[in-house]
Amino acid sequence: MSGLFAFIIFLGPLVFVHELGHYLFAKLFNIKVEVFSIGFGPKLLKKKMGETEYCISAIPLGGYVKIFGEDPTMELTDEEKKRALNHQEKYKRFWVLFGGPLFNVLFTFFLFLFIFVIGEPQFTNRLGRVVEGSTGYEAGLRSGDRVLEVAGQKVEYFKDFIERVSEIKGDRALLKVEHLNGNVTSLNVPLKDISSSNPYGEKIQISTIEGVYPANRKSLIAVTDPKSIAGKTGLRTGDLVKEVKWGEVTTKIFSFEDFSSLIAEKLALKKKLPETIEIGVEKKGEPSSVIPHTLDLSFIRGSVFQSHVEFQDAIGIHSTELLIEEVIKGTPAAEVGVQAGDRVIMVNGVKPRSFDHLRSLVQMTAESGNKVSIVVERSGERQRLEMKPEGRASKDYLGNPVTTFAIGIRSQIKLNEGETVLVRILNPVRLVRESLGQTWDLIVMTVVTFKKLLLGEVSPKNLGGPLLIGKVASDSLDVGWLYFFKLMAMISINLAILNLLPVPVLDGGHLVFLGIEAVLGRPLSLKKMELAQQVGMTLLIVLMVFAFYNDISRMVDFKQIFN
């Protein structure tokens, strides 16, 4: 979606709510409001209703409410003073000034009320996929398992599982797991440390379990050897497995994990293979019919298979995960002759367990300064190709530099949606409590972020301006309205806290002036106030310029330009 459009529909309501807070408190105390504007600069649309002019202005970077009597140098009649801001009692001026940030906080609270009532889809505690050969798999986790507890803490959703594991300090996690057969077991699973960022943009190490995903793969198959058992029966790459008849029993298949698990289950019985198995598939363009294909196993009946992977290799059926969907032009893979439809079998002598594993093998090899050697299968023939990965300097969402190495291929993997449940809160007491809790957490996080910025504990490069807001607003809207509203809630709190900073020209600066007046018993002199306003405006301009610079530098490498 257009970044400008997303920016306007994102920031517009936040600005409106903020200015509405100032406006309503002014009206409450019978203080005259001259202008209510969304945006700055030339007025594009305007309409006067009563004593107030309502308008939309050209520059959508904020808004303002012009309140009568803000200028202390104005000469007013006794009648006019009754409705002028600077001639009101201090508590009235406080609420007019505080009203904007307060309404931003209230808006966040009501956004969370709305989000919780509408409901948020969450992955359940079922593991959609556990990659064969990963540390999670070797420890006993299997696709379809439900994680009930992590280190004694209850797990309801997949995000709980990830969070509980990430908090563990150690090299193993004790999991309580319910398997598909109903058995509940305890597993001691090895952990892997990975780099991540906390909400303040600081680099941290967190624990994770390798090879675990919430969604499984579609039961699409890759048949890259037409002379294989599968190839000879007419099975082709892109067929969708719907059922498997093994002996007298027909099993419905909904994912590639179902297909692999069925084979693993049959092999575990240690019985002789049947003469044939029947695989029913949907062909491309024929989604309504299941076409059976009979595989003759007579040539491999005497073989002993240690795993379902070995059996699948023997019959020539593979997941499409390591099948190349696209080779990007001008990349190392394209230059050495890798083609769409090739299946990656080996990377530097290692059989990749997944496409993520393939990428990590490429990354590790490139970081050590070596070339990558891959073996691909094409029409039953295997080829070894060597290439030097391409390093791409980029930046993460906070602008921190990262280098990613790639060879220029895309996977044909297709995923099912995963088991989800709509999590809603309809109990009024819990609804209010959770919404207040989420709002408070955002306030604390924002205050701590500002504190860390001031103390230099967080890089000022993490600051973002309108361009970053437009980008993340557009990205969140592409994902879904729920994420858009969550981001809006976060920025609303940021707007509230930013305006409460004790900087002249901001609401917080005016509140400081009001506090000084209450202590001294008189307002600051006009000269001191003007000086403070000038300093505040300078600080604000510097902050805005720096934020704009950060936004642009996330898209453009200034060092390269200047060099």
Residue 270: the pLDDT is 78
DSSP annotation of 523: P
**404 three-class SS:** strand
Domains of the chain: 3-119+425-562 (no CATH), 129-213 (2.30.42.10), 221-321 (2.30.42.10), 323-411 (2.30.42.10)
Instruction: Give the model's confidence band at 2: pLDDT under 50 very low, under 70 low, under 90 confident, else very high.
Output: low
What digits encode the pLDDT tens for the residues 279-292? 999 998 777 789 99
Phi/psi of residue 345, nearest 5 degrees = -105, -40
Q: CB-based burial of residue 478 (10 Å sphere; 0-12 exposed, 13-18 middle, 19+ buried)?
A: exposed
| Helix H or strand E encompassing 176 | strand 172-178
**What tokens were used for 41?**
């600069």
Mean pLDDT of 106-124: 94
Query: What is the distance, to the nearest Å, from the Cα of residue 227 to the centroid of all Cα atoms in its chain?
Result: 44
Could you count the other beta carbons within 10 Å of the beta carbon of residue 113? 19
For residues 107 and 495, what is the distance between their CA atoms, to the nearest angstrom? 11
Task: Choose the weakest-confidence range: 114-128, 283-297, 351-365.
Answer: 283-297
Specify whether the CB–CB gap between 96 and 31 falls below 8 A: yes
**505 three-class SS:** coil
Identify which of 201, 196, 203 has the alpha carbon closest to the alpha carbon of residue 458.
201
**561 three-class SS:** helix
Mean pLDDT of 372-387: 94
Residue 501: the pLDDT is 84
Residue 256: the pLDDT is 94
For residues 280 and 182, what is the distance between their CA atoms, to the nearest angstrom? 28
Question: In the predicted model, is pLDDT for residue 563 greater than 60?
Answer: no
Specify whether the CB–CB gap between 234 and 223 falls below 8 A: no
Residue 96: the pLDDT is 92
Q: How far is CA 487 from CA 7, 24, 98, 352, 480, in A?
A: 12, 26, 23, 37, 11
Phi/psi of residue 213, nearest 5 degrees = -135, 150
Give the chain's mean pLDDT. Answer: 86
**Better-predicted residue by pLDDT, 438 or 539:** 438
What digits encode the pLDDT tens for the residues 522-559? 776 666 666 665 665 566 566 666 555 555 555 544 34
Percent pLDDT > 70 in the chain is: 87
Could you count the other beta carbons within 10 Å of the beta carbon of residue 182? 6
Residue 542: the pLDDT is 64
Greatest mean pLDDT among 74-83, 347-356, 448-457, 499-508: 347-356
Could you count the other beta carbons within 10 Å of the beta carbon of residue 158? 23
What digits encode the pLDDT tens for the residues 203-257? 777 889 999 999 999 999 999 999 999 999 999 999 999 999 998 899 999 999 9
Residue 551: the pLDDT is 55
Q: Would you call 19 a catalytic residue per the annotation? A: yes
Could you count the other beta carbons within 10 Å of the beta carbon of residue 239? 23
Question: In the predicted model, is pLDDT for residue 397 greater than 60?
Answer: no
Q: To which residue do tokens 């020209």 refer?
A: 505
Task: Choose the weakest-confidence range: 134-138, 396-400, 433-437, 479-483.
Answer: 396-400
The full length of the chain comes to 563
What is the three-state SS of 245-279? EECCEEEECCCHHHHHHHHHHHHHCCCCCCCEEEE
Residue 449: the pLDDT is 78
Residue 285: the pLDDT is 76
| Helix H or strand E encompassing 483 | helix 481-499
For residues 220 and 255, what is the distance between their CA atoms, to the nearest angstrom? 8
Question: In the predicted model, is pLDDT for residue 191 greater than 60?
Answer: yes
Query: What is the distance, to the nearest Å, from the Cα of residue 255 to the centroid of all Cα atoms in its chain?
Result: 25
Instruction: Give the model's confidence band at 60: pLDDT under 50 very low, under 70 low, under 90 confident, else very high.
Output: confident
Question: In the predicted model, is pLDDT for residue 87 greater than 70?
Answer: yes
Residue 22: the pLDDT is 92
pTM of the model: 0.75
